[in-house]
Amino acid sequence: MKIKITSLGCRLNQSEIESISTSLQDLGHTIVTSDDADIFIINSCAVTGKSEAKVRNTVSRALEAGNKSARIFVTGCSTDEFRNIPRVTYISNDFKNLIPEIIEGNKIITDLQISAPSRFDYTPPIRSSTVRANLKIQDGCDNFCSYCIIPYMRGAPVSRDAGTIIKDFNELTANGYKEIILTGVNIGKYRDGNVSLSGLITRILESNSFFRLHLTSLDPESADDDFISLFKDPRMVKHLHLSLQSGSDSVLSRMNRPYRRSHYIEVTEKIKTLAEDFNFTTDVITGFPGETESEFDDTVAISREVGFSHIHTFRYSPRPGTRAYSFEDSVPGIVKKKRSKVITDLVMELKKNYYSRFNDRESLFLSEKGKGFITPGFNEYYVPVEIKEKIPANQIYRVTTKFNEKKYNLTGEILSSDKVNG
């Protein structure tokens, strides 16, 4: 059968659906990008109200597609609001990994009420949609930030067995992946017995010689000295999406975030001393209930001090089911919009400042599938690079780069025709 997969949201969602896609292709199904499909799988996200609206629109488009007999599966972090829509089957995250068996007819929906499988019963995502593979190591969160619905959707933290992770990691590199991203809802919560996140990464680095190891989003309280020291290893991608949300201690307190401004700065400074030009990206919420102009100014100031290369900016919107939903939404929409614009304008300035550091510099370029005679990719700092020639995807080359102010990326030239091999 022809199956169209739409995945919304985080890298964890992407990792899970790539594993499902691999299993479906192993069973003989074809993954398509057009609406001419027998089955639609929509991997949903509920992190914001806007995300949920996008899910509803995607379901509507699938229902209106040409094949009126196509089956539609909705899974991921959205609620079961789709359960009673004709042709739509809702499958919660707990049973997402059974989708291939359900499609094959080896499982029926009523069976799913009996017992939930492990949240780690996923095959390695051998057929990733990109040249990098996402590897799930953890699920769930118990931070209960006052604005966040995810702990209610994903449940308490659980971690995957370290030995199995290493086995799957080595299988992915053996299948040709040059970069692997460790993913989870909150990977800083990883713990298998006495093995923490830094212990897991240490074991991976000891077990495999040639690859890039990349991490998904992390909270700063998880970045202890053992973790920070890992970035001395050249195989670690020199990039971290270090969650901020606000630069104001009073706002962080209302958000129930488990760190304060001074600790965030301390972590970033320690990492910078180990890895020069380290690339920090982050998330910021503007207009959280009660946010004053002075508190917002604290966010602008810390953004400049850290020197982020990118900031994902969200305007606060109340989410039913969260503690902040009962807070008075006291910041007018026009103010939220204005503050969001300040951050997005600042991002362009900070991005230029950071990317220009790589002007006339050598770096290691991981090629991706391009169009025509342009090959895109990223260097070891997770900065986008374009090579103006057609070269094979999923290869690492040593290049020299120049900053392109029009595209806000780097253009590169290969220094040698030989690939960088391990």
pLDDT per residue as tens digits for the range 151-176:
988 889 999 999 999 999 999 999 88
Provide the percentage of residues in the chain whose pLDDT is more than 70: 92
Range among 47-56, 74-83, 209-218 with highest mean pLDDT value = 209-218
Query: Long-range contacts of range 375-378, CB-CB < 8 Å, 24 or more positions apart?
Result: 377/131
Choose between 118 and 136: higher pLDDT: 136
Which position has the higher pLDDT, 314 or 107? 314
More confident residue, 258 or 123: 258
Q: Which of 63, 71, 18 is nearest to 43 (CA)?
A: 18
Contacts 24+ apart (CB under 8 A), 325-329: 327/146, 327/254, 327/289, 327/290, 328/289, 328/290, 329/289
Reported as a single tens digit per residue, the pLDDT across 140-157 is 999 999 999 889 888 899
pLDDT tens readout for residues 239-255:
999 999 999 999 999 99
73-82, 134-143, 266-275, 292-301: the lowest-pLDDT one: 73-82
Higher-pLDDT residue of 422, 264: 264
On the question of pLDDT at 127 being above 80, the answer is no
359-414: CATH number: 2.40.50
Strand-pairing partners, residue 362, are 400
Q: Which of 196, 199, 201 is nearest to 233 (CA)?
A: 201
The topology under which CATH files domain 2-113 is Rossmann fold (3.40.50)
Can you tell me which residue has the tokens 């997005």? 344
Q: 157: part of which helix (H) or strand (E)?
A: none
Provide the β-strand partners of residue 280: 240
Domain boundaries, the chain: 2-113, 132-356, 359-414
Between 267 and 82, residue with greater pLDDT: 267
Q: Of all residues in the chain, what percent carry a pLDDT higher than 90?
A: 59
pTM score of the predicted model: 0.87
Give the separation between CA 118 and CA 402, rounded to whole angstroms. Answer: 47
In the chain, the amino acid numbered 10 is: C
**Is-contact 25 31, C-beta < 8 A?**
yes
pLDDT at 422 over 60: no
The class of domain 132-356 in CATH terms is alpha beta
Determine whether 405 is exposed, middle or buried from the number of CB atoms within 10 Å of its CB (0-12, 13-18, 19+): exposed
**pLDDT reported for residue 357:** 96
Using CB atoms within 10 Å of the CB of residue 318, give its burial: 0 to 12 exposed, 13 to 18 middle, 19+ buried. middle
- Phi, psi dihedrals of residue 109, rounded to the nearest 5°: -60, -40
d(CA 272, CA 364): 19
**pLDDT average, residue stretch 296-320:** 95
Q: Residues 6 or more apart from 45 whose CB is under 8 A from it?
A: 8, 9, 10, 13, 51, 52, 54, 55, 76, 77, 78
Segment holding 233, helix H or strand E: none
Give the containing element (helix H, strand E) for 67: none
Sign of CA dihedral 388, 281, 21, 67: negative
Average pLDDT of the residues in 108-113: 64
Let me know: does 421 contact 365? Beta carbons within 8 Å.
no
Give the tens place of pLDDT for each residue, 335-353: 999 999 999 999 999 999 9
**What integer is the mean pLDDT of 286-303?**
98
Residue 215 and residue 187 in contact, taking contact as beta carbons nearer than 8 Å: yes
Tell me the pLDDT of the chain averaged across its residues: 89
pLDDT at 295 over 70: yes
| pLDDT single digits (tens) 366-419 | 999 888 889 999 999 999 999 999 999 999 999 999 999 888 889 999 996 556
pLDDT digit string, tens, across residues 187-217: 999 999 999 999 999 999 998 788 899 999 9
- Measured between alpha carbons, how far is 214 from 40 in angstroms, rounded to an integer? 30
Rounded Cα–Cα distance for residues 192 and 139 (Å): 13
pLDDT tens column, 13-49: 787 888 888 888 888 899 888 888 899 998 888 777 7
pLDDT confidence of residue 205: 95
Mean pLDDT for 68-96 is: 82
pLDDT of residue 88: 87
CA distances, 355 to each of 149, 225, 231, 352, 409 (Å): 34, 27, 20, 5, 7
